Each structure stands twice: as structure tokens, then as C-alpha cells.
Structure 1
Amino acid sequence: MATVTALQYYGRKDVRLEQVPSLPCGPDEVRLQIAYCGICGSDIHEYLGGPIFPPKAGEKHPWTGHQLPVTLGHEMSGTIVEVGSGVSDPKLQVGARVAVNPAWTDRHYGLEPCTACELGMSNICKRYASYGLSAAGGGLATEIVVKHLSCIPLPDSVSLKVGALMEPLAVAWHCIRTSGFQKGQTALILGAGPIGLAILMLLRVWGAKTVVISEPTASRKRMANDFGADLVVDPTRFTAPKNGPDPVVIATQGAVHADGVDVAFDATGIQTTLDTAIAAVRPGGTVFNVAIHEKPLMINLNDLTLSERRLMGGICYTQDDFRDLLQALQKGGIPAEKLITSVVDLDDVVEKGLLELIRNKAAHVKILITPNRVRSVRL
């Protein structure tokens, strides 16, 4: 029986690089030889405290039927090596280079769309699942079989490395689009982690006038400057007077020469950054939550009501986000590969991938994993 090398997730702090059976390629599927797969913050959360998105031990996912162990990895690119008998898309042939939208929604099950899908919000489909978390197969492996609907053909101008970055970039694109951000507006980003930096990078494509970053970590402050922030503020350098103005807000107002920014993106998700985001937005502006919170936060709704500020949030992406992002990548001007801080062989995925991000989080934006046998793939 043919086997695949894959990082199997069994539960909290229990991952194993194992040989698993190679899955058959169904009529509506393609088999990919993985080129690159990024490690996401959600993978770290699963390792340290999961299972969160995968089914719990002894249970099955209600829609995919998948159960532990699951192969991790949902930020992936690869080359098609087999095409199912029912796949007729001329762009999906053996040898084609693709990125993967890992989301499973109603159309993957062949079901009628739920309310969210009917509204064009498939990212919150009630039957949502994902490769690398709750569906069969993941990108931290030598190969994967995916629905042909999940494949995004890559033009020659987009490398396989950038293809593996499209999933987190699509998250950032979705946040910007959903926030209602418009060309010529201003923004504050609280937190220069992978998604915060991706939002910064893409805001330039969207024509932002001024972008301010609030970030305390030295390495990430340098990255924010390198990625084009107009002002980088270290919130730990200030001691705000009791009941006085937030110094990050004062610095932000000075940078945009206004009573606040048009949109504040909170990519940190703690009480202080939420408070700053609300205070830093102009009257009628938008506070957009990017982060997933570990615990509930407090909010005084008068801070929104009395200035008619909007509080919004967003998660994941839709196929439209991938499409529009790919068009922007083709035009150039997005230095996406700057997000990559390390490329690691699959054999070293635990020590130099997962554990490296846990031990030296501030030193990295995105670590890509590549199987040994595809080192010769064209970049």
C-alpha cells in the first residue's frame, strides 16, 4: 500500500511524523504533491491546548466524519500529480501549480447552501470544516487529495512559496474588505504578528493614506517599519496618567492629523488593545476585530454609541477573497515573500517548526515547511 509522510495530530502536545495510507483520488478531486505549507497560529493553539477545531478524542466531525488523528497544515501550495475522472477544468491538469483554499462549505458536500452561503458568507457556513483541522488530509505532508473546488491555479508570476502564503493573506484581505476600508483612508493596526503585518502589506495595495502600527516587540517593530508603516508606536514606552488620554491614541491622531483613524484593526485581542482601538477611531469610524479571544472582554457601548463608531469582526475568507488577492499578486507590488522568515524540511517540522515558533515567536512571521522530495520543484 502506498503511504504518505504526514504530521499527525493526536491531541495536546502529541504530534507524530508518521507514514499514513495514501488516500484514493475521487472523481471530483485532485492529488497534490505538496510544495510548501505554512504553520499557522491556530496550529500552535491546537498543539498547546487543543483539540479546538479538530474533533475531540472518540468523536467525529459532524459533517466530514473525520476523527483524530488529523494531518495538520492548512496553508499550502503544490503541484497536481493526479486528476479525478470528473474534473474537466483545463487549468487543473497534471503538472499545474496551485494554492489551496482549505475551507469545506456546503458545495463541498453537494448540499444546498445554508443562509450564510446564500448571502455570500461561505466563511461562516454552518457546516464549515477545513483541511488540516477537521477534514481528511493536511498540508504538513508529502501529498494531499483535495476537492478540485478547493484549488486555485497559480500563474507563472506567482511562486509556490507565495502560493502557500495565500491563505493567511486571504484572511488579511477579507478583514480589509469586510471593514469597508476605502482608498485614501487611514488605519491603525494593533499588533504586528503575521496577520497584522499582512494587513499592513495589503493596505498599501488598497491605497491607504496613512497606516500606524502599535507593537511592543523590537523585532516586529523593525518588520513593521520594513513593511511600510508610516509610524510604529511602542505602547510600553509610555506611562499614561490615570484617567488621562491613551498615548498611542495621541500619537496616532498626530500621524493622521485628525481626531482618529478611519479604521482600527485589533490583531492582538486583549483588553488594552480593544480600548485603544475604540479610542483611536474617528467619529463614525470602524473598529475591526481580527483576533480570536481567549476570554471575554469588557466594553462600554457608550464609547460606540456617542460617537457612532462601528464595531465589527471577521474570520477566514471566501473564494472571492482568494480571487481578488490573486489578481493583486499578479499585478506585483506585494512583497509577500518578506513574510517568510524560515523554510524547514518536513523531517524537522516539530523541532524547527512548531517548537521554534513557540520558543522564538517574536523572531518569526511565517515558517514554511517543505517535504524533502520536492526540493527540486520550481520556485
Structure 2
Amino acid sequence: MKAARYYGPGDLRVEDIPEPVPTDGQVKVKIAWYVNNPPRISRVTSPLFSANRNGICGSDLHAYLSQTPTYASTEPHPITQETVPVTLGHEFSGTIVEIGPGVDTTKWATGTNVVIEPVLGCMKGECDTCCQGYRNLCPQITFIGIGGWGGGLAEYIAVNVRYLHALPEGISLEIGACIEPLAVAYHAVKRSGFTGDGAALVIGAGPIGLFVVKILRTLYPSITILVSEPATIRREFAIKHGATRAFDPTKVNVPDTVRLPWTHLYSVCAPEELMSTLPYGRKMQFLMST
């Protein structure tokens, strides 16, 4: 099968590798593919780009540009025991095509559409976070598609059913591929304590920021949502999907622009110009975890 294999920063190769065979507790999933911009790659004929729904995370780009701690390296990862090369991709969905031994066939069946929960913790008895069910906070954390165990940028993956969630009827594979980043945004909104009073300011309209906008608008249809984003296309997208107003922070006076009775600021950083808005609301700084 075709797979996008990560060898280290600046070295990503589409290669032919053996199809995985499910072992005890695993199923084989045919990964769905989604091409974000079909017209630009309409002439691509590789099987890797031929079908349905998948996503590429910004962290994959970061790993391509520079060494990233959670990504596989030349040393075996403490959880997966794998070294480079590994198959990339951790935002994906697919369809079960084979059931391995030891899998509960009353719960899992071929033809079931699933989304993969990619977070991997060490699951050791001495790890407090894993023992409490917070493997996302494990000190040795990695992901399927980052530290090994296959990945979404391939045609198939064999994965333990503990990392699977069946997609409900009516939820497409395309939507399924978005569930991982959507969960990050939803978690941030719920952890913020925002209850719909006042206004919200979203800093940055990348995928997570846009999901925050969408979640806020869905939960609180009448609130004011401001978005700070320098890219025109992202500002337009934010307005289309629920923002009340979007502005370019490089072209306006940010404190004057946000002088509203807003109550929550959604940001993963704290540039100095934002600090001056504090008299007008409450700043929430997040170290996001899914």
C-alpha cells in the first residue's frame, strides 16, 4: 500500500509498504481520504490521493520543518518502541474491513465507519495521569501517526479497538476526520467556563480557532464573537461560520477595536497588545490538551 513516511525534518516520502495485519484486539481500517483543494491536484493519480476523507495537521508541518519532541526519531519511542520512518497522519476516519482475533464482534463489524482517537499514553501503573484516565497528559505522550503504530496518511491501518469510536448514522467520513481537532476546540470552550454572557474574542482563525467560533455560535446563537486574524481568507471564513466581526490585528488598534464588554479571550499566546484589553474583560490563556 502507499503511505507517507516521515524520516525526519525535511524528509517525507510516499512509499510502498506492506498492508498491516490486525493482531489480538485490533481491526484493519481502510482509511478515508479528503483532498482539501481538489482543483489544484486533480491530475494526481496516486492511490494515496484517490478517495474520500482525511486531514493534515499543522503539527505535521512543524515536524517537517524542525525536530518536534513527540514525533518519532532515530531513538525508539518509549511507548511505541518505533523509530523513523513512521507513517504520518492523526486526524482521520475510515471503514473497518477486517476483524482481528479477540475483538468483540457484537460491537465491531466490517463496514462500520470509525474515527480513530490517536492519543497514546504509556498506560503504566506508576503513571498517575494514565491511571486516572488522562493519557493525554502522560509525560511520554505521543500519537498514532506521530510516534508510530501506523497513521492516517496511508491506505490502511491496524489499530486496537480501544482507540476507535464508531461514527453515528448520518455522520460522514469527512466530518469524522475533523473530530480530533474539533474536540480540542470544544474542550477549550467548556474549560473556559463561558456561559454565553457578554462577548468572546478569538485570537487566530486557524482550524482550532475556527472550530471555537463554530462551537460558540452553535452553543450561544446571540453572542458577539470577535476574531483577530491577519489572513483575509481566514477572516472571511470566520464571518461565514459565525463570527460577528473579524479584524486584522496588523492594521487596527487592537485595544480600541475590542473595547466591548467581552468576557472571554480564546488564545494560546499573550502578545503585549492583548494585555491592554484586560480592563474590558477576562483573559483566558490555554495550554490546550485533548
Q: Same fold (TM over 0.5)?
A: yes
Mapped pair 1:80 → 2:96: yes
Structure with the bigger percentage of helix: 1
- Matched residues in 1 for 2:85 and 2:93: separation? 22
How is 1:342-361 mapped onto 2 (pairs within 5 angstroms)?
none
The match for 2:284 is 287
Q: Is the 8 A contact 2:213 2:243 kept in 1?
A: yes
Q: Secondary structure at the match of 2:150?
A: coil
Q: Is the 8 A contact 1:91 1:153 kept in 2?
A: no
Mapped pair 1:219 → 2:238: no
Seq. identity, %: 36
Q: Deviations over 1:319-376 (max 9, x none)?
A: xxxxxxxxxxxxxxxxxxxxxxxxxxxxxxxxxxxxxxxxxxxxxxxxxxxxxxxxxx
- Matched residues in 1 for 2:226 and 2:68: separation? 35
Deviation at 1:118, TM superposition (A): 4.4
Q: Is the 8 A contact 2:204 2:228 kept in 1?
A: yes
Match of 1:127 among 131, 136, 140: 140
The match for 1:159 is 172
Structure-1-length-normalised TM-score: 0.66
Mapped pair 1:49 → 2:63: no
The match for 1:60 is 76
Give the aligned length. Answer: 269
Q: Secondary structure at the match of 2:272?
A: helix
How is 1:59-208 mapped onto 2 (pairs within 5 angstroms)?
59-88=75-104, 90-107=106-123, 111-112=124-125, 114-207=127-220
Q: Secondary structure at the match of 1:82?
A: strand
Q: Secondary structure at the match of 1:162?
A: helix
Mapped pair 1:234 → 2:235: no
5+ residue gaps, structure 2, are 33-52
The match for 2:256 is 250
Mapped pair 1:33 → 2:7: no
Structure-2-length-normalised TM-score: 0.85
- Matched residues in 2 for 1:119 and 1:285: separation? 31
Deviation at 1:178, TM superposition (A): 2.2
The match for 1:294 is none
Deviation at 1:119, TM superposition (A): 4.5
Q: Is the 8 A contact 1:264 1:281 kept in 2?
A: no
- Matched residues in 2 for 1:276 and 1:116: separation? 36
Question: CA RMSD for the aligned pairs?
Answer: 2.1
Q: Which moved more, 1:159-168 or 1:181-190?
A: 181-190
Q: Secondary structure at the match of 1:253?
A: coil
Deviation at 1:197, TM superposition (A): 0.7
Deviation at 1:32, TM superposition (A): 0.3
* Structure 2 counterpart of 1:24, one-letter code: V
5+ residue gaps, structure 1, are 239-246, 290-312, 318-379
- Matched residues in 2 for 1:48 and 1:152: separation? 32
* Structure 2 counterpart of 1:251, one-letter code: T
- Matched residues in 2 for 1:287 and 1:149: separation? 33
